[in-house]
Chain A
Amino acid sequence: AQSVTQPDIHITVSEGASLELRCNYSYGATPYLFWYVQSPGQGLQLLLKYFSGDTLVQGIKGFEAEFKRSQSSFNLRKPSVHWSDAAEYFCAVGASSNYQLIWGAGTKLIIKP
């Protein structure tokens, strides 16, 4: 079955600390992988995406993610978080053959001052 797992419902980190949000997927075809961010009261904004090529992708707001096929993972990282990064983060997977995405349940990021 196709699925996306974000094992952490919420994560708390101190401002300035590094961050890693986990995403694991189960998908039969070659996956397209996405991270979206949702700030409170806002819609979802694309942070970054992986289609092919370099497995380390850079996104907006200083985020990056690494695709590891052997581990079926696409973890999101940021070296130093800012208070404005407090939001909910969603991982999603899709295929080139259709335009639906399978979504993870989201990870809520809380920033301690």
Chain B
Amino acid sequence: DAGVIQSPRHEVTEMGQEVTLRCKPISGHDYLFWYRQTMMRGLELLIYFNNNVPIDDSGMPEDRFSAKMPNASFSTLKIQPSEPRDSAVYFCASNAARQGSGNTIYFGEGSWLTVV
């Protein structure tokens, strides 16, 4: 089982540049989550998808952030333009809504973003 795969693992970019983070969920999982983790705010849910459809994006901080899930095996989180305060670790996670599995969420290893 490959687990949730995220890329890039680390990115350093200049303020104003576009950043695209990528995620491949675990095969067969029908929920996908994007989280952001910072020292100040801890772990925040940005958006989640069910069967490729965005269900709740209330955690997306502002219009500079957007997320897509064009198919069951791929999602992107885009920041345009990026700002230094976007520096954080961005986690993708997935979950299978099978009876009895509850809502165990499996995390990727994160994309460590630094905006300078």
Contacts from A to B (Cβ < 8 Å): 32, 34, 36, 42-46, 49, 51, 90, 94-96, 98-101, 103, 105-106
Q: Whole-angstrom distance between the alpha carbons of A6 and B105 in the complex?
A: 20
Q: In the complex, what's the smallest C-beta–C-beta distance from A110 to chain B, in angstroms?
A: 16
CB within 8 Å for A49 and B45 given contacts A42-B109, A43-B108: no
Q: Residues of B at under 8 Å CB distance from A?
A: 4, 31, 42-43, 45, 48, 50, 56, 91, 93, 95, 97, 102-110
How many pairs, one residue from A and one from B, have CB atoms within 8 Å of each other in the complex?
48
Q: With a CB–CB cut-off of 8 A, which chain A residues contact B42?
A: 103, 105-106
Q: Which of B4, B43, B45, B56 has the most CB of A within 10 A?
A: B43
Q: Is the interface of B mostly helix, strand, loop or mixed?
A: strand
B102–A96 contact, CB under 8 A?
yes
Q: Which of A49, A95, A99 contacts B48 (CB 8 A)?
A: A99
Contacts of B106 in A (CB 8 A): 46
CB contact between A49 and one of B4, B97, B102, B110 (< 8 Å): that residue = B102
Which of A44, A100, A106 contacts B107 (CB under 8 A)?
A: A44
A46 & B104 in contact (Cβ 8 Å cutoff)? yes
Closest to A102 in B: B45
For A96, the chain B residues whose CB sits under 8 A away are: 102-103
